[in-house]
Amino acid sequence: MAADIIPARHPSRLWMRLGLLASAIVMALVIWASHAYLTRAFSEDQDADATVRATLYAGSIQSTMQRHSVVPLLLARDPILMTALHTNEYQAAEERLRRFKEEIGAGSIFILDADGRIVAASDARPREQYDGDKAYFTAAKADTGTVFSIIENDDGAYSFHYARRIVENDRLIGVVVVTVDLGAHEEGWRRAGVKVVVTDSDDQVLLASEPYWNQKTLSNLLAPGPDPSRVLRALQEARKSFGSPSYVYINGTPHLVAEVPVGFRNWRLTYFATLEDVRARVNAVLSLIIMVLALLLALGFYLLSRRTRAESRRIQRESEELRVLNRRLSAEIGARKRVEKDLKDAEQSLEQASKLAALGQMSAAVSHELNQPLAAMKTYLAGARLLLTRRRPEEALTSFQRIDDLIDRMGSITKQLKSYARKGDLDVEAVDLRDSVRTALAMMAPQLGKMAVSIQTTLPSEPAVVMADPLRIEQIIVNLLRNALDAVRSRDTKEIKILLIATGETILLSIEDNGTGLRDPGKLFEPFYTTKKPGEGLGLGLAISAGFAAELGGRLVARNAPDAGAVFELVLPRARAAQAAE
């Protein structure tokens, strides 16, 4: 019996081992990725803090330099100092220099005579010492303004001086020198335990928190160490791929670098931030992550064991639920089939009703569109009969030709209305709307003349070309003219204005009348909406015209005119040059 049990448990043990191995790999990857991400995130915070500190240190140096730069100008004009240079009595002058030194915190302030000897000083500097060969003296003699100089001392450090010559009646009588004490900044950096260097435009270290960094260049200070091993190089590349910041190594210790301009003579301040705080924060968060992962792993094993024990009970319960669902599904399938049959019957009834409605609308549309050419034919027949009675057959033939054209037009209208009802493709071509307006006016000439309507037509001199079906364009214009005629019928003075404008990418055709205006512009383009008396119209003209305009990519709008009457505007896209050429 033992031989039967072992094979049954072996797959379970194998899956357990594979699960443990996979969990260990996932945990290792999570810890490694978390370490890289946290290092990058905390390093970014450290880098931002380093930039702020560097900016504050740089601002402090800039403030010191600016504060000292104005002192030579003030002292060079001081009457006490000028008197001392004349009388060689320097007690009051030295008291003056000591007071200035205390006020601005200078390293020292001293005066040289015209020969370059120290004659007065704020400190115990040797009197009569010759400094005529120093850079601050020679530069001040050669320049009329305040000069700045850097002098390397015997101990390798640098001293910084502002100097300005003292002149009386355009004659040099002395030079005042202010020594800037930047050592206080270095001492402050050392007390704060930070690593900072200030370099000039030649990368030479001028100030440093570490004394042995003086007389070096920044590139020498940050010279790379020995080449890392292959494993270390691979780890460094992996860190870069995760976006971790790059470091510089000082004495083998990695540092973040923040470099900012001082704002004085192209000096730059470089701040080196250690990573001890970053490492401490990363290790703390990683410890928490490892603890959470361990708890999750233990919880996973606990839930897995519970799931195994409940599996058999779940299978039995689901089997019973499946049997219940099968019975319910069978009942729902039967009910759905009955509903689908009822729905199919309803759809057939609705389709038949839609066909009847479409047939009625089409019949009304055909009747409406044929009324216009029939009216024109009636007028031309009456004219032809009168011409024949007067024995003028040639002119009568012209009327018959127009009647023949109208018959062709009636055939085209029925064809166009049929295609409109089926929403088929349009046969478009380049159409000059000026010609369409003239054709529509010619067709409506009998009605316009009969009613004595004043027509004001404004057409552009250049072609106004659109891509459209010419017959549909003419139908739209005729419908709009006919509506205008109906609107001005009750007016003593009947006026219709036609305006055609080509603006940019569109063309606007406006037809304005002086009739009674529009009572409900929002319903004008609804099928079978009309304000005419029964028998005078079916309310389809504007609906069909608006449909034609939409199919051509444009729109038909209506509004009341400011004074009286109504304005109908047809806006169509203007044909491009290439389309018009075709």
* The pLDDT of residue 333: 92
- In this predicted structure, the answer to whether residue 538 has a pLDDT above a threshold of 70 is no
- Element of type H or E holding 328: helix 276-389
CB-facing half-sphere around the CA of 116: CA atoms within 13 A: 12
Residue that wins the pLDDT comparison between 250 and 530? 250
Looking at domain 8-67+187-278, its CATH architecture is 2-Layer Sandwich (3.30)
Q: Which of 11-20, 120-129, 343-352 has the lowest mean pLDDT?
A: 343-352
Mean pLDDT of 398-402: 79
CA 518/CA 515 separation, integer angstroms = 9
Mean pLDDT of 388-409: 79
pLDDT at 231: 42
Q: What sign does the CA torsion over 56, 58, 61, 66 have?
A: negative
Q: What is the CATH number of domain 70-181?
A: 3.30.450.20
Q: What's the rounded Cα separation, in Å, for the pair 544 and 528?
A: 10
Q: What is the pLDDT of residue 417?
A: 53
* Residue among 383, 569, 405, 414 nearest 476 (CA): 569
- What is the residue extent of each domain of the chain? 8-67+187-278, 70-181, 341-411, 425-581
The more confident residue out of 422 and 533 is 533
Q: What percent of the chain has pLDDT over 70?
A: 77
CA angle 415, 420, 423 (to 5 degrees): 125
CATH of region 425-581: 3.30.565.10
Q: What is the pLDDT of residue 127?
A: 77
> Would the CATH topology of 8-67+187-278 be identical to that of 70-181?
yes
**Parallel/antiparallel/unpaired status of strands 495-503 and 454-458:** parallel
List, for residues 135-165, the tens digit of each pLDDT value.
889 888 888 889 999 888 877 788 899 999 9
Tell me the Cα Rg of the chain. Answer: 51
